[in-house]
Amino acid sequence: MAPTGPEIAPPAAAAHVAPLSAAATPVDVVDYAPHPGRPTNVRYGVMAFLCALSFLTYFDRVCIMRAAADIQRDLGLDDSQMGMVFGAFWLAYGLFEIPMGWWGDRFGSRRTLTRIVLAWSLFTALSGSAVGFLSLLSFRFLFGIGEAGAYPNMARVQSRWLPGRAIGRAGGLLWLTARWGGAFSPLIFGTILRALDSQSFRGAVSGVPLLGHLAGLPAWRMGFWASGLLGLVWVALFYPWFRDDPAKKAGVNAAELDLIRSDRKPTQPADDGLGDDGHGGAAPGMWRALFTSRSLLALALLYLFGSFGWSFFVSWMPKFLKDVHHLPIEKAEMAMPLFYGGISCLVGGWLSDLVIRRTGHKRLGRAIFPVIGCATAAGAMLGIPFVKTSGQAVVLMCVASAAFDFGQGANWASIVAIGGRYAGSATGLINMIGNMGNVIQPIVGAWIFHRFGWPVLFAIYGGCYLAAASMWLLIDPRRTFYEDADVSAVEGTG
């Protein structure tokens, strides 16, 4: 998750681990020495832009869940077709993650994120113009292409703008805003739909030239058009202000640059619009190392299994609550599992950084939270179909969502660390594979609950979370994936 949201660094890479050698110890030593002078705080402004973007990514991809019933009614879609519409976004999003992650490594995140937000805003708006199944499927697929690369490029920005010691906390904050974007999306979008469907709005526009036809349109169409405008506001503020290289951003002083680069190799970050080697090319053997890295592939599978379980919360959760517990969508607009999941992202990321600071064991500090979280999520999902009330079901959903997200900050920091100077491409690989769970689940989920019922579907969710936890047996966040190809590993328990 993306990973999915599996959702999901340059030469001056954050969380960069010193190369292992025959004399290296298996325990990480992180530099926390103080720096002279008072650092400026421009990096916090960068994080504010990233958090706003993270919120918007989930708001735009989840708002369709709130309008799904109206869309199905107006366009004549059945559950299977709606499942394919949900899955079309995730398929395109996953397929284009590597190209757009590499695009950021090649041309810089400033340009790439601008293109991404403009594209997804366009196709969000066009979703409101669909006239049938094929057009809606096409617009959601193109929306997925447009949004692909958002998190790889956010990882790349963090790798250049934040010290490695802060990546766990920063990743937790990024995923908090992502989950809250999903949590508040049905509520915000539902409020927009009610306002657009009100007699006062329709009466106000009915006599206005060029706007009178809006009075007779379904509210969900106008809601998608309005949502597409939000990304344009973000681009108008971000592009003139941001720079890929902190050294080229006005207002960043030497102390802040020292802080950003304090616990990484003293290599020069790329200029705006250039790749990390100064001319946009990948180092020899980088692509082979990317696709053969045990740690990256294990992280990708972690997100594949995890996103299969998590995508329930942004696809079939309202249907389950309505069909099984007779809870109308209007009473479930606030997606509480995503709300608590967001809080858990922040807490888990902060604790992961804390454990590493206190113990010096980077692998332990990153692994313990996703393993415990996924195991807890599995138990909660197994119990959901057997409770008697909607309140009990929502509590278990909140536990499952928060438990899985307890490891998101640690997972994210590990991706940034293992990706190193190619954080965009590495995150793209993980998101490409990981988001296949989001592609499969809406379609397969619909088939399973129609054929076998909810208990079997939730048992599969639980098994996927356990499989995700087991991937940490193969993940080592102490070195980059391209070092794996060049330097022999030193085994240890750190």
Mean of per-residue pLDDT scores for the chain: 82
Neighbours of 343 (CB within 10 A): 16
Q: Which residue has the higher pLDDT, 271 or 236?
A: 236
Per-residue pLDDT, 446:
75
Position 1 scores a pLDDT of 43
What is the share, in percent, of the chain residues with pLDDT greater than 90? 38
- The Cα–Cα gap between 68 and 213 comes to 23
Contact 168, 413 (CB under 8 A): yes
What domains sit in the chain, N to C, each tagged with a CATH number? 42-241 (1.20.1250.20), 288-486 (1.20.1250.20)
pTM for the predicted model, two decimal places: 0.73
Residue of 132, 99, 127 whose CA lies nearest to 115: 99
Instruction: Say if CB 218 and CB 73 are below 8 A apart.
Output: no
Q: What is the mean pLDDT of residues 250-275?
A: 67
Q: Give the range with max mean pLDDT: 130-139, 184-193, 474-483.
A: 130-139
Query: In which band, very low, low, confident or very high, does the pLDDT at 87 lie, cut at 50, 70 and 90?
Result: confident
Res. 451: pLDDT tops 90 = no
Phi–psi pair at 19, nearest 5 degrees: -60, 140
Q: Is the pLDDT confidence value at 267 over 70?
A: no
State pLDDT tens for residues 2-52.
444 434 333 333 333 333 333 333 333 333 344 457 889 999 999 999 999
Supply the pLDDT for residue 445. Answer: 76
Residues 10 and 425 sit within 8 Å (Cβ to Cβ): no
pLDDT tens column, 371-410: 999 999 999 999 999 998 888 998 999 999 999 999 988 9
Q: Mean pLDDT, to the nearest integer, of 100-129?
A: 91
- Answer whether residue 251 shows pLDDT above 50: yes
Closest by Cα among 156, 25, 166, 179 to 102: 156
pLDDT at position 10, please? 34
Q: Which percentage of the chain shows pLDDT scores above 70? A: 84
Average pLDDT over residues 423-428: 86
List, for residues 285-336, the tens digit of each pLDDT value. 888 999 999 999 999 999 999 988 888 887 778 778 887 887 766 555 456 8
**What integer is the mean pLDDT of 277-283?**
50
Q: Between 399 and 443, where is the model more confident?
A: 399
Q: What is the mean pLDDT of residues 211-217?
A: 82
Nearest Cα to 39, choosing from 128, 134, 131, 163?
163
pLDDT of residue 15: 35
Query: Of the candidates 434, 296, 306, 349, which has an alpha carbon nearest to the alpha carbon of residue 171?
Result: 349
CA dihedral 465, 470, 471, 474 (to 10 degrees): 170
Per the model's pLDDT, the better-predicted residue between 22 and 485 turns out to be: 485
Which range, 58-72, 335-349, 355-369, 471-485, has the best average confidence (pLDDT)?
A: 355-369
Phi-psi region of 47 (alpha: psi -120 to 50; beta: other; left: phi over 0): alpha
Please report the beta strands in 110-156, taking only residues with DSSP state E, as ranges in sequence order. none
Residue 26's pLDDT is 34
Cα(115)–Cα(113) distance, integer angstroms: 5
277: confidence class by pLDDT, cuts 50, 70, 90: very low
Q: Is the pLDDT of residue 211 over 90?
A: no
What residues have CB less than 8 Å from 422, skipping those under 6 apart? 105, 276, 282, 286, 290, 481, 482
User: What burial class does residue 231 get, using C-beta atoms within 10 Å of its C-beta: 0-12 exposed, 13-18 middle, 19+ buried?
Assistant: buried
Per the CB < 8 A criterion, the answer to whether 382 and 462 are in contact is: yes
Which amino acid type is present at position 418? I
Give the separation between CA 63 and CA 181, rounded to whole angstroms: 9
67 token code pair: 């309008």
Three-class secondary structure of residue 251 per DSSP = coil
What pLDDT is attached to residue 334?
58
